[in-house]
């Protein structure tokens, strides 16, 4: 899906707790092997989460990965179904179950509510266009590798994550002056104060799991 860089943080933390040998280099290897079959905001403004759902959701993505031969078909889900059984029942490209198709046609009603099942808005049809739709087949992938990559250098000797799905081709190679800040708050103040201009590279230190404190979600400065 392109994915959030937060994905790496959570996966590595879970692997550490489970005492599984899984590192950023493994994520890099997987991302180079697995194509990007879905693109969603903020990487694009054309598709949002409701569009992903209309195209079949995560199960729809798994279906395309399975047809590409990239999944272990012996695993079972929480219902006790194997992957082939799960896809046969819930993949919109395979299922014959009208109830499943109706579920994936659920659309936004534009009504603010916190009450569960308080609205019933449906798309007229599913998005099953795997060439130009929200979810693509392997042959029509947004890119042949995944949406995340690991970079190494003097800024991050042990590696850092870049969301390649959100990087325009024109800036894959980029040079610019670094503006270094000691916290997210300092960076936001500088941005709003006009001290950061187009072409600058903003570096924020001390916002990791030990900083912040507690690894704050740094989404304020991009919005600024």
Q: What is the model's pLDDT at position 104?
A: 97
Distance between CA atoms of 126 and 118, rounded to whole angstroms?
A: 22
pLDDT at 44: 86
Tell whether the model's pLDDT for residue 223 goes beyond 70: no
Give the pLDDT confidence of 63-82 residue by residue, as tens digits.
999 999 999 999 999 989 99
pLDDT of residue 208: 77
- Count of alpha carbons within 13 angstroms of residue 45, beta-carbon side: 0
- For residues 136 and 218, which has the higher predicted lDDT (pLDDT)? 136
Residue 62 CB coordination number (10 Å): 19
Q: Which residues of 187-215 are buried (b: 16+ CB within 10 A; e: fewer)?
A: bbebbeeeebeeeeebebeebeeeeeeee
Share of the chain above pLDDT 90, in %: 58
* Most distant CA pair in the chain, distance: 58
Q: Which residues of 116-130 are buried (b: 16+ CB within 10 A; e: fewer)?
A: eeeeeeeeeebbeeb
> Could you tell me the pLDDT band of residue 224, with boundaries at 50, 70 and 90?
low
Place of tokens 């899906």: 1
Q: Is the peptide bond before 193 cis (omega within 30 degrees of 0)?
A: no
pLDDT tens per residue, range 114-127: 888 888 899 999 99
Write the pLDDT tens digit of every residue in 176-215: 999 999 988 999 999 999 999 999 999 988 887 777 777 7
Mean pLDDT, the chain, rounded, equals 90
> Of 21 and 113, which is predicted with more confidence?
21
Residue 145 is predicted with a pLDDT of: 86
At 206 the pLDDT is 86
User: Which residues does residue 162 pair with via DSSP β-bridges, in sequence order?
Assistant: 149
Handedness of CA 38, 141, 148, 198 (dihedral sign): negative
Comparing 224 with 103, the larger pLDDT belongs to: 103
């Amino acid at each position: 899906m392109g994915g959030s860089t937060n994905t790496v943080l959570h996966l590595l933390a879970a692997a550490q707790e489970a005492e599984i040998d899984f590192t950023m280099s493994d994520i890099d290897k997987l991302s180079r092997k697995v194509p990007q079959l879905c693109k969603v905001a903020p990487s694009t403004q054309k598709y949002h989460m409701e569009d992903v759902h209309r195209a079949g959701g995560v199960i729809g993505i798994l279906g395309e990965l399975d047809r590409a031969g990239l999944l272990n078909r012996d695993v079972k889900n929480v219902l006790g179904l194997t992957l082939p059984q799960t896809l046969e029942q819930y993949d919109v490209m395979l299922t014959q179950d009208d109830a499943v198709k109706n579920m994936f046609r659920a659309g936004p009603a534009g009504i603010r509510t916190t009450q569960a099942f308080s609205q019933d808005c449906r798309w007229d049809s599913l998005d099953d266009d795997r060439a130009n739709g929200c979810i693509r087949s392997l042959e029509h992938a947004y890119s042949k590798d995944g949406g995340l990559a690991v970079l190494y250098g003097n800024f991050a000797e042990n590696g850092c994550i870049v969301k390649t799905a959100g990087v325009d081709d024109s800036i894959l190679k980029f040079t610019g002056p670094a503006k270094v800040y000691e916290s997210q708050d300092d960076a936001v103040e500088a941005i709003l104060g006009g001290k950061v201009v187009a072409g600058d590279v903003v570096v924020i230190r001390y916002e990791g799991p030990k900083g912040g404190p507690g690894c704050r979600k740094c989404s304020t400065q991009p919005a600024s």
